[in-house]
Amino acid sequence: MEDEYYRQRLFNLNEQLNQLAQTNLPQTYNELLDLSSQISLTAMQVTSHLSKQKKILRKKQQRHVDRLKLILQGAAVTIWELELSSRQVSLSGDLKLPNTLMLNKQYQQCLSGLLKLIHCEDRQRLKTEFIQYLRAEKAYLDIKFRMYDRLGGYRFIQCRGVGNGSPRSSYPTHMAGTLNDLTDSHYLNTDSGLMNLNYFSDVFDDEVQKDEPLGCIVIKIANMHDLSMMLTTQSRIKLIRRIIQRIGKAISAHDLLCSIDKSQFIVLIRHLDSSHLATIAHKLVQLLDRSLYLDNQRLWITPQVGAIDVKAHQLNNAEQVLGAARSILIDLQGKHQASAIYEHSYRERKSLQLETEQWIRQAIARDWLVPYLQPLVDFDTCTIRGYEVLTRIEHPQRGLISPGQYIKIAEKTGLIVPLTEVLIEKAIKIAQSPELNQQHQDPFRLSINISAKQFHQRSLPSQLAKQLKSANIDPHRIKVELTESDVMENIDAAVGIIENFQSYGIKVALDDFGTGYSSLAYLRQLPLDIIKLDRSIVSGVTENERQSAIVEMILLLAKRINMQVIVEGIETSHEYHYLRKLGASWGQGYLFAKPLPQSEIITKIPAIVKQLKALNGMPL
């Protein structure tokens, strides 16, 4: 309305001026002066009005710019524009994608420079997508690619855009769109704030192609599970971040730190020399093996650090490195060490473990498991009262394989469960053997070793009792043998399981007694029927008075609490007589017989009985 007013006002003044110019009457000076003043005033009003309108337009423009900036900031995207004729690229400010990436001005101005930052495997694909769009084969541009960052990693970017006008109608001269960083959604571990294992794998597989020294360090917080149990979720995340801060002090800005899981991290070490790797590993242990305060409590963390020289061991992909990392952490756990450098022997052990695992699986499936029996002798009656059932693998090519070569691997892989199930089935058949039963006046007993994994299966006692009942075997003829490690994790649960076995008439023995730190305490805590005195205590008992006193004390204590003791590992007649003098009544060992197949044991029984009588000075 105001614009129309000033337009009409200027028109009217102009008409008056034309009328005065057309008349022949002399104009007075005052009339001309008045008309000039009106024109000047109107011109000033027009200028003022235009100035106000300009300010209003500038404010509106600024509001639109601010809104656009806010939208871009909230959307976390960057606007790009491309002049196709000059191939010049402009961005909405510097491209500062989270954490690391920032393009400088020369890349903002040159398309070829921008392409250099795109991962070499994705570069040609991006060019192809552009060409397809320009040829009207696509309605719009939409492609994902990796863009290198300045730390040697990369960001996962989504690029979208269109041209001015439809490519179907005319060849575009100008294109514009957005760049969106998707890295966090693909790779970020939210608890640690680090990139995850997938990101490490992708970056490593790129780095290993370069002919440069490369190393990896794997870090495990061995007690993280226990710490997590006593912390809230927020406190656990704080703890992880504090651990990451300590790790960061030992590595450089060029190294890549990623999270494997809640308790493990892996570092990709660039610009490596051989001594540098060991130095970093040692420094990490020193930094991590210290207490820290968190939520008004002091916490100790238990680090395990493994260092791997990638090039020296010819590890060609991330999967091989992670396999090496797992091997070294398992080895550290077994040796109770804090750090170690990966060696070729780890790979050899891993290969042997895989091979052995295959043996066990084949042995179970193809019935290569053979029970071996070692006699349990009664010193007082000079008779064989039972046998410990042990397993051997009879491999068709490799021959006889002893338990020492495969039991630990069976426990690690969980194959100990089906292996023991087969052993129980074969033990039941042995108990039913007419040939073996004919050699004994009284029913003989069988001892079966139970692994920790099976022992804690609460259904095992009832399952075993059911099998014995089905085979018509008295449960009192069977005893299960446990080790200290089987029961030490949860004493209360162990007591309940032992009592459950005993409720079915199955006796329970503690094997390898005396090898642990708390063996005597178990005599009070566990309702055991039998303890088996380990060979490590028996060996040297005849020469060592202190050791002799310990054995005598155990035998006396067991007798007073009505617990049977079987002495293992008796190898000489001198040991036998000395142990008899100390009060031993039961035993087993190579002095009587080594573990043998059932057929051989049957033939040796008369000789063993004869030997016992000779040792006791009894008539043969």
Residues 470 and 552 grouped into a single domain = yes
Q: Which residues have CB under 8 Å from 57's CB, separation 6+?
A: none
Same domain, 540 and 554: yes
State residue 96's pLDDT score: 46
pLDDT for residue 593: 94
Residue 473 within a domain: yes
Which CATH number belongs to the domain containing residue 285 in this structure? Answer: 3.30.70.270
Nearest by Cα to 418 from 495, 372, 366: 366
Range of the domain at 318: 193-342
**Residue 347 belongs to some domain of the structure:** no
pLDDT at 595: 94
Dump pLDDT digits (tens) for 139-193: 889 998 888 876 677 888 889 998 886 555 567 888 888 888 888 888 888 888 8
**Same-domain pairing of 181 and 204:** no
| 49 and 100, same domain (yes or no) | no
Tell me the whole-structure pTM to 2 decimals.
0.59
Longest dimension (CA), the chain: 173
List, in sequence order, the alpha helices (H) in 336-440: 344-366, 407-413, 416-432, 434-437
Rounded CA-CA distance 78/432 in Å is 81
Domain contains 352: no
Same-domain pairing of 46 and 156 = no
Beta bridge partners of 102: 96
- Residue 620, in any domain of the structure: no
If one counts every other C-beta atom within 10 angstroms of the C-beta of residue 40, the result is 10
pLDDT of residue 529: 93
CATH of the domain at 151: 3.30.450.20
Residues 326 and 286 in one domain: yes
CA 141, CA 574: separation in Å to the nearest integer?
A: 90
Distance CA 593, CA 495 (A): 33
C-alpha–C-alpha distance, residues 558 and 523, integer Å: 8
- Verify that 413 and 525 share a domain, yes or no: yes
Residue 351 belongs to some domain of the structure: no
What is the domain count for the chain? Answer: 4
Q: Report the distance separating Cα 46 and Cα 52, nearest Å.
A: 10
Residues 145 and 216 in one domain: no
365 plus 478 within the same structural domain: yes
Q: What residue ranges of the chain have pLDDT lower than 70?
A: 1-36, 38-43, 68-69, 71-76, 93-109, 150-151, 165-170, 274, 334-336, 344, 346-347, 489, 516-519, 619-620
Query: Closest Cα partner for 576 from 566, 587, 565?
Result: 587
**pLDDT given for residue 505 in this prediction:** 95
- From 137, 155, 186, the end of a domain falls on 186
